[in-house]
Structure 1
Amino acid sequence: MSPSSPSAVEVPSDLIAFDILSRLPAKSVLRFKCVCKQWLAVASDSFFLDAHTRYNPLTVSGFLVEDFATTTISTFSVDGGESPAIPDPSLSSLNRRSAASNGIFVWQSCNGLVLCTTRSSQPRSSPFLLNPTTMQYREIPDPPADLYPCKYWFILLFDPSTSFQYRIACLSSNITHAAFDPTAS
């Protein structure tokens, strides 16, 4: 069939790359981003990331737990079987002491993203979301100023069944900021 034939359909090459790359494991996609600028653009696109998550759902086989006293990290299995190995050898050196020496306090991590604040001479510092794989980060707006006299915590939330977006919650020990007031009737 000749290219000028009315029934011949030309599929854009970036659409083909999108479909192929979205079905590959994340580690392969990261390697293939170096192949060409087109693949880098496709693999960095937010629509691609959503499609990749749908085709490659995360399964939790275990989790990491840090002992705050010793700053060591241990692995535990979800199903009670053998504890999974730390997937990346560089994670074995990840601990609060090394992060603190770099001026970073790690609040939480979720699906590879890390919620952090910088340590500074100021009483509070702005949180930021870090992707350690790409070293990209995004600053998070400061909580309201009236939270400063009390303790507050940040939580990183992600539920792919409802949305492919991450959420950050700021919880305060100040009861006047509670979303639910148990004293109300």
Structure 2
Amino acid sequence: MASSLPEVLAEDILVRLPVESLLRFKCVCKMWHKIIKSPDFIREHCKHRNKVHKILVYDRNNPPDPITLISKDGVLENPPPDERVRGMTYVLGSVYGLFLLKKVVDGNFSLSLWNPALREVRHLPDPTFEVQPYTTNPQIPLIGKFGIGLDPITNDYKVVWFLYFSDDDNIPRIYATVYSCSRDSWRMLQLNDRYKSHICARRFRQPLGTGYLNGTYYWLVLGAWKCSIVSFDFRNEEFGEIEGPNAGRPFDHHHLVMILLDDDSIALMTNVRVCAFEYEIWVMVQPGLWNKLFALKCFTYTPSMKSWFPSTVIYVTRRSHLVSYNVRTGKSRHLGFHHPGLNNGVWNETVCSVHIYKESLVTIRRELQLN
């Protein structure tokens, strides 16, 4: 009988299983239920399953079945539809199996957290941004950027959201707030004055794949002659900045520059010859110190990069087929998914977005604490 297994042995067996099996096995006996619900077990299960992933494709123009999962063997799955997820215009993630969803209605953002494995959705309350007194011109764009991550000290999952724009007098403005799952509320942040002019003046990009690493979220900012990394530490809820490689080289919008996380390191991929699709990957050795890992020429036709996991880029071909390419071995693999929406849209917000999905037991239901 299952209950006769020693608890240590039971944990060693259960931690290797997928979430779907664990949800069933909670009913086997009280000991297994206690193990599977334990925060320590949930953390160990996340670590153990870290290298087991699927690719999640979200098609916002297909309300009946917006989600397709692609296994490492190329098997396509369409999970049961969830009405709470339909209509979302943007998916950001994932961090320990959690995704951040954005919906835009009449120019206003609404955010939700989503755990597909547990079929849980948490709609976040609206934060208060005091931006109206500073701009009355509807032509002035309010640009919002987001990050999701775990505070490793408190085990609290958080969302950071900031707006930046230039007001009627062309004065840069930036406002930031952070949401705490444990408090179920937002807190406005006090920003250093240099960010108010520095960030607004440059092009801001979300990471390719997830931007979360070891308690911190990272974005790339591009200027006419420089690129740098802006970070947000979920532990102390503070922003920081790291200088990018080759400060004297023109990293502008004519170069395809992307931030990505590779084997627990921060890296940048830059297109050095646009027509030839030749790239360099730079890895940060320590803050402000970068090494060029390698240069590569990986495509023979125009690609559109969609996501990244260690050493592998996922891209879509001109004929809208999804392909993975290992930048170290030079091997590519067709993933068996085709959709014209993969090539439609703007940076990071195409009709079909592509994400690396690692399932987890992390619950986001309001009545339960995450820690």
Q: TM-score, normalized by length of structure 1?
A: 0.54
Q: Give the match's secondary structure for 2:198.
A: coil
Match of residue 21 from structure 2: 28
User: Taking structure 1 as reference, are residues 66 and 120 closer, same or farther at Cα in structure 2, changes over 3 Å only?
Assistant: closer
Distance in 2 of aligned mates of 1:137 and 1:94: 9
Match of residue 79 from structure 2: 90
Aligned length: 160
User: Does the CA contact (< 8 Å) of 2:20 and 2:117 recur in 1?
Assistant: no
Match of residue 100 from structure 2: 115
Deviations 1:159-180 (A, max 9, x none): 99x9976442213233522763
One-letter amino acid of the counterpart of residue 113, structure 1: L
Distance in 1 of aligned mates of 2:118 and 2:198: 43
User: Does the CA contact (< 8 Å) of 1:76 and 1:84 recur in 2?
Assistant: yes
**Cα offset, 1:84, TM superposition:** 3.0
Distance in 2 of aligned mates of 1:163 and 1:147: 31
Match of residue 176 from structure 1: 173
Which has a greater percent of strand? 2
For structure 1, list consecutive stretches of 5 or more residues without a partner in the other structure: 1-11
Match of residue 99 from structure 1: 86
Residue 130 (str. 1) matches residue 114 (str. 2): yes
Match of residue 5 from structure 1: none
User: Taking structure 1 as reference, are residues 75 and 22 closer, same or farther at Cα in structure 2, changes over 3 Å only?
Assistant: closer
Q: Give the match's secondary structure for 2:44.
A: helix
Q: Give the match's secondary structure for 1:144.
A: coil
Distance in 2 of aligned mates of 1:173 and 1:21: 46
Find the partner of 1:39 among 5, 8, 32. 32
Identity %: 25
CA RMSD of aligned residues (A): 4.8
Distance in 1 of aligned mates of 2:31 and 2:11: 10
Deviations 1:96-142 (A, max 9, x none): 9x802xxx5554342543323678799554x3323233343445453
Distance in 2 of aligned mates of 1:142 and 1:74: 29
One-letter amino acid of the counterpart of residue 144, structure 2: Y
Q: Give the match's secondary structure for 1:99.
A: coil
User: Taking structure 1 as reference, are residues 73 and 164 closer, same or farther at Cα in structure 2, changes over 3 Å only?
Assistant: same
Residue 154 (str. 1) matches residue 172 (str. 2): no
**Cα offset, 1:48, TM superposition:** 0.7
Q: Give the match's secondary structure for 1:173.
A: strand
Distance in 2 of aligned mates of 1:173 and 1:66: 27
**Cα offset, 1:49, TM superposition:** 1.0
Distance in 1 of aligned mates of 2:115 and 2:70: 24
Distance in 2 of aligned mates of 1:54 and 1:169: 24
Q: TM-score, normalized by length of structure 2?
A: 0.32
Distance in 1 of aligned mates of 2:146 and 2:91: 7
Match of residue 9 from structure 1: none
**Cα offset, 1:50, TM superposition:** 0.8
One-letter amino acid of the counterpart of residue 98, structure 2: L
